[in-house]
């Protein structure tokens, strides 16, 4: 496949060079979705010699201004009260500092506020109205995040009996009625809830998966996406950021993964970085971007694990419990290699490297939920970059996993 060939060619000159030996870093910017203006903005920052941290901030900020897909910035994804609230984070992969704002109201510049949290406090995260007060104190201007478009979306949802929504186990029946809701009769007392929790832990993952996958709103690019961006600068510093207005028709107060390190994004200089998009409620349970960076730390047959394999492994861990998971992960490593994996939707990401004369958009087909042993063998082979000429030979001799779920990384 073309995508794999590119990845292969880009790694050949680097084979045998360990992370610590690599001195000349090739700048890269990568972000979720075809938000190419954001990628260009970040790339220009790198070209001007700015740090990767500035690049990801400026890139995500561009998407907030453009209201990318209506899911980033003001005037999108109204909650059940019709309000738009913003989640964002930024991470310096050299110092491991994080700045984040969750449930930000009345201020448009979410990722900038996150940066201000990092720069002017010893904290990592601020939330809600107090976060907005902080932003104003730091010099930002209060703004109305509601637009005519978001008001209309909210009014249409109310007219449609508040469908879809994110409630479960409540009365009246959330699949046919609007709230206000109360815990339903089966679960209304604390002791019943405690019983349910006990039962769920006995049922294990399967019980939880069933509870979660029934009756949830469909996750689509226009209800659940996020800009999540990773950059590597010429000094080798990795930084990541993400910004989102969350899930459309969310329960007020809901916070997503876009403001949580390891959920929305993660970065570690010398290793790599990751960004996510999709079901943020699930991402908050697995912190897949933290796992991707841990995966990138590993080597396979002496070669650092490829970002695509690192992403796939993190998604497979989610799929063991939530086979209907919808989302995607993108990653860059310190060698400048990039890749992504997705499940449940066709995904694309934007990337710019020194080898490209403009931002490129790379399409990613969703992973199969249950890969066959042949698919698994292919993945093992790919991870080791043996799939080009002579690949068949290596593939035939590659250790074949006896269990299809046994992949190159513990997922
Ligand atoms: C990131 O952290 C490193 C290490 O503390 C620091 O030297 C660098 O200035 C930070 N980057 C930015 C852009 O602030
Ligand atoms: C915010 O803008 C919306 C849409 O234009 C408008 O309906 C609403 O009254 C405004 N809210 C405030 C507090 O100005
Ligand atoms: C992805 O795109 C292909 C080709 O357009 C289509 O057949 C497939 O159903 C799509 N998959 C998903 C999960 O949307």
For 236-275, the pLDDT digits (tens) are: 999 999 999 999 999 999 999 999 999 999 999 999 999 9
The per-residue pLDDT for range 50-74, each reduced to its tens digit, is: 999 999 999 999 999 999 988 899 9
Q: Rounded to whole angstroms, how far apart are CA atoms 260 and 240?
A: 12
The confidence score (pLDDT) of residue 373 equals: 72
* Ranges 90-99, 189-198, 296-305: which has the least confidence: 189-198
Phi/psi region, residue 82 (left: phi>0; alpha: psi -120 to 50; beta: rest), is: left
Ligand 3 touching residue 346 (CB < 6 A): yes
The confidence score (pLDDT) of residue 380 equals: 53
Ligand 2 touching residue 105 (CB < 6 A): no
State yes or no: 279 annotated in a binding site: yes
Q: Is the pLDDT of residue 14 over 80?
A: no
Q: Rounded to whole angstroms, how far apart are CA atoms 216 and 23?
A: 48
Ligand 3 touching residue 345 (CB < 6 A): yes
As a whole number, mean pLDDT of residues 90-119 equals: 98
Q: Rounded to whole angstroms, how far apart are CA atoms 106 and 141?
A: 9
Cα 136 to ligand 3 centre (Å): 44
Q: Rounded to whole angstroms, how far apart are CA atoms 255 and 110?
A: 13
Please confirm, yes or no, whether 85 is among the known catalytic residues.
Answer: no
Closest Cα to atom 2, ligand 3: which residue? 346
Residue 264, φ and ψ in degrees, nearest 5: -80, -35
> Best mutation site among 144, 147, 155 for ligand 2, i.e. most ligand atoms within 8 A of its Cβ?
144
State yes or no: 254 annotated in a binding site: yes
pTM given for the model = 0.84
99 versus 15: the higher-pLDDT residue is: 99
What average pLDDT is seen over the chain? Answer: 84
Place of tokens 């508040």: 162
21 versus 402: the higher-pLDDT residue is: 21
State yes or no: 173 annotated in a binding site: no
Ligand 1 touching residue 53 (CB < 6 A): yes
- Catalytic: which of 84, 85, 226, 353? 226
Cα 85 to ligand 3 centre (Å): 31
pLDDT band at 209 (very low <50, low <70, confident <90, very high): very low
Q: Rounded to whole angstroms, how far apart are CA atoms 349 and 363?
A: 7
Q: What is the CATH code of the structural domain delimited by 2-143+220-407?
A: 3.60.20.30
Contact 64, 109 (CB under 8 A): yes
**Which ligand number lies closest to the CA of residue 153?**
2
**Which ligand 1 atom sits closest to the C-alpha of 51?**
13
DSSP labels, 231-296: EE-TT--EEEEEEE--STTPPTT---GGGSBTTTEEEETTTEEEEEEE-HHHHHHH-HHHHHHHHH
Token pair listed for 242 = 């993400």
Q: What angle do CA 10, 14, 19 make, to 5 degrees?
A: 120
Ligand 3 touching residue 369 (CB < 6 A): no
Token pair listed for 261 = 């390190």
Cα 60 to ligand 1 centre (Å): 19
Helix, coil or strand: residue 75: coil
State yes or no: 236 annotated in a binding site: no
- Residue 244: name the closest of 217, 214, 283 by CA: 283
Cα 145 to ligand 2 centre (Å): 8
Query: Hey, where are the domains in the chain?
Result: 2-143+220-407, 167-213
State yes or no: 59 annotated in a binding site: no
Spell out a b/e string for 30-64, using b for 16 or more CB atoms within 10 Å of the CB, else e. bbbbbbbbbbbbbbebbeeebbbbbbbbbbbbbbb
257 versus 377: the higher-pLDDT residue is: 257
Cα 66 to ligand 2 centre (Å): 19
> Best mutation site among 146, 148, 154 for ligand 2, i.e. most ligand atoms within 8 A of its Cβ?
146
Strands 97-104 and 86-92: antiparallel
- In terms of Cβ atoms closer than 10 Å to its own Cβ (0-12, 13-18, 19+), residue 144 is exposed
Helix, coil or strand: residue 342: strand
């Amino acid at each position: 496949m073309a995508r794999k060939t590119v990845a292969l060619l880009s790694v050949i000159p680097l084979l045998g060079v360990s992370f610590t030996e690599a001195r000349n870093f090739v700048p890269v910017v990568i972000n979720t979705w075809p938000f190419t203006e954001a990628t260009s903005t970040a790339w220009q920052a790198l070209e001007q010699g700015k740090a990767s941290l500035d690049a990801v901030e400026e890139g995500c900020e561009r998407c907030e201004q453009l209201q990318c897909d209506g899911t980033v910035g003001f005037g999108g994804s109204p909650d059940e009260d019709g309000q738009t609230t913003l989640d964002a984070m930024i991470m310096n992969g050299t110092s491991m500092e994080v700045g984040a704002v969750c449930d930000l109201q009345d201020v448009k510049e979410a990722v900038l506020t996150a940066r201000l949290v990092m720069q002017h406090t010893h904290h990592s995260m601020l939330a809600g109205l107090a976060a907005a007060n902080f932003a104003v104190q730091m010099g930002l201007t209060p703004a109305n995040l509601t637009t005519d478009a978001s008001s209309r979306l909210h009014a249409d949802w109310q007219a449609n009996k508040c469908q879809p929504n994110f409630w479960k186990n409540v009365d009246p029946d959330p699949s046919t009625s609007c709230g206000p809701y109360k815990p339903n009769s089966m679960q209304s007392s604390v002791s019943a809830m405690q019983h349910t929790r006990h039962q769920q832990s006995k049922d294990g993952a399967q019980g939880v998966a069933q509870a979660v996958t029934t009756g949830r709103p469909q996750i689509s690019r226009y209800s659940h996406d996020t800009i999540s961006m990773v950059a590597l600068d010429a000094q080798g510093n990795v930084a990541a950021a993400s910004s989102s207005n969350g899930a459309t028709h969310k329960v007020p107060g809901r916070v997503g993964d876009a403001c949580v390190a390891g959920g929305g994004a993660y970065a570690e200089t010398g290793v790599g970085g990751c960004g996510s998009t999709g079901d943020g409620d699930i991402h908050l349970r697995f912190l897949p971007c933290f796992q991707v960076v841990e995966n990138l730390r590993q080597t396979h047959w002496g070669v650092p694990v490829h970002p695509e394999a690192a992403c796939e492994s993190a998604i497979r861990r989610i799929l063991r419990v939530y086979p209907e998971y919808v989302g995607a992960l993108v990653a860059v490593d310190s060698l400048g290699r990039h890749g992504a994996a997705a499940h449940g939707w066709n995904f694309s990401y934007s990337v710019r490297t020194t080898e490209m004369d403009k931002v490129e958009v790379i399409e990613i087909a969703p992973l199969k939920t249950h890969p066959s042993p042949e698919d698994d063998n292919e993945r093992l082979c790919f991870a080791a970059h043996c799939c080009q000429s002579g690949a068949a030979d290596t593939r035939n001799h590659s250790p074949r996993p006896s269990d299809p779920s046994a992949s190159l990384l513990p997922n």
